[in-house]
């Protein structure tokens, strides 16, 4: 059905898909240009952006909107995002609050770290990362200086690993490093790639503080490569399903434990 202006209104889902693709391809777009391109009102665009922000695909800032969705060219990375997503979002919100404006932050390519990165878009930060998806989040925002660590790109996740990455990291100094892990047990933290663990150790050495973000399903689990002992980091952020035993072990190691509670939860760290 045509309107008096001569165009056919888009269905809501189709319009939102087109809106997201516009933001993704441009990196940043203003509300007026989005409204003009899609031939809808700015109020309609705002409602659609509310939806895109809720699902983590975009983030509004002064003057427009940034794309914060997964990289379409890294399907294996995208497949990891839905696992424990609600927990990761809760953890990310707490971890993002540990970052101060003006900080220099080093972010790895883990899926939980990526959720933290989404929430940091638009803040005044200097970002260092070995992750192509994370770098893509920040690259179009003038509030950020972005340093992308080079090296061998692991195709499943789009992260740079290996000796070149490690050599570059050895020359850097950052305020905080934020890392995801694939397992935590009494020996410490683990990840599932030997090269990745070597690069993450270099990230730890570059930082004044190390923040580990991990959902509760990772505790009591051992993965392929040992990253470091429990007491080698300063902060652990986890969801409120972590059991009492592990809460005690993390605190006993001298690590500050941050519990990300669900909105209706009354649990505290």
pLDDT digits (tens, 9 = 90+) for 247-257: 999 999 999 99
Residue 46: inside a domain, yes or no?
yes
Both 155 and 198 in one domain: the answer is yes
Residue 232 has pLDDT above 50, yes or no: yes
Residue 5: inside a domain, yes or no?
no
Both 63 and 181 in one domain: the answer is no
Both 38 and 140 in one domain: the answer is no
Q: How confident is the model at residue 85 (pLDDT cuts 50, 70, 90)?
A: confident
Both 23 and 143 in one domain: the answer is no
Q: Where does a domain end: 67, 95, 110?
A: 67
Pick the most confident of 76-80, 91-95, 131-135.
Answer: 91-95
Both 55 and 90 in one domain: the answer is no
Both 239 and 107 in one domain: the answer is yes
Show the domain range for 135.
75-260
24 versus 237: the higher-pLDDT residue is: 237
Record the pTM.
0.73
DSSP string computed for the chain: ---TTS-PPPPHHHHHHHHHHHHHHHSEE-HHHHHHHHTS-HHHHHHHHHHHHHTTSEEEETTEEEE-SPPTT-HHHHHHTTTTHHHHHHHHHHHHTTPPTT-EEEE-S-HHHHHHHHHHTTSSEEEEESBHHHHHHHTT-TTEEEEE--SEEETTTTEEESHHHHHHHTT--EEEEEEE-SEEETTEEEES-HHHHHHHHHHHHTEEEEEEE--GGGBT---SEEEE-GGG-SEEEEETTS-HHHHHHHHHTTPEEEEE--TT-----
Which CATH number belongs to the domain containing residue 36 in this structure?
Answer: 1.10.10.10
Residue 44: inside a domain, yes or no?
yes
Both 84 and 145 in one domain: the answer is yes
Residue 162: inside a domain, yes or no?
yes
Provide mean pLDDT across the span 253-267: 80
Both 114 and 44 in one domain: the answer is no
Residue 4: inside a domain, yes or no?
no
Q: How many domains does the chain have?
A: 2
Percent above pLDDT 70 for the chain: 85
């Amino acid at each position: 059905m045509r309107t008096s202006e001569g165009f056919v209104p888009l269905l809501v889902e189709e319009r939102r898909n087109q809106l997201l693709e516009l933001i993704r391809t441009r990196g940043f777009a203003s509300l007026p240009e989005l409204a003009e391109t899609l031939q809808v009102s700015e109020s309609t665009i705002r409602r659609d952006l509310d939806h895109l922000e809720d699902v983590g695909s975009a983030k509004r800032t002064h003057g427009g909107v940034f794309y914060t969705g997964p990289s379409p060219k890294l399907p294996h990375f995208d497949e990891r995002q839905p696992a424990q997503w609600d927990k990761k979002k809760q953890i990310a919100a707490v971890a993002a609050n540990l970052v101060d404006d003006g900080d220099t932050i080093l972010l790895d390519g883990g899926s939980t770290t990526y959720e933290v990165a989404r929430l940091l878009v638009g803040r005044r930060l200097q970002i260092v990362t070995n992750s192509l998806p994370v770098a893509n989040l920040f690259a179009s925002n003038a509030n950020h200086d972005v340093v992308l660590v080079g090296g061998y790109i692991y195709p499943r996740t789009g992260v740079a690993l290996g000796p070149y990455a490690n050599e570059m990291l050895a020359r850097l100094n950052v305020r905080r490093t934020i890392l995801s892990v694939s397992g935590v047990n009494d020996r410490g933290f683990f990840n599932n790639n030997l090269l990745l663990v070597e690069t993450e150790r270099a990230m730890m050495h570059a930082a004044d503080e190390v923040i580990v973000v991990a959902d509760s399903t990772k505790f009591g689990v051992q993965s392929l490569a040992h990253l470091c002992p429990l007491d080698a980091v300063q902060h652990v952020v986890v969801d409120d399903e972590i059991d009492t035993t592990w809460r005690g072990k993390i605190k006993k190691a001298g690590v500050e434990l941050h519990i990300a509670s669900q909105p209706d939860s009354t649990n505290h760290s």
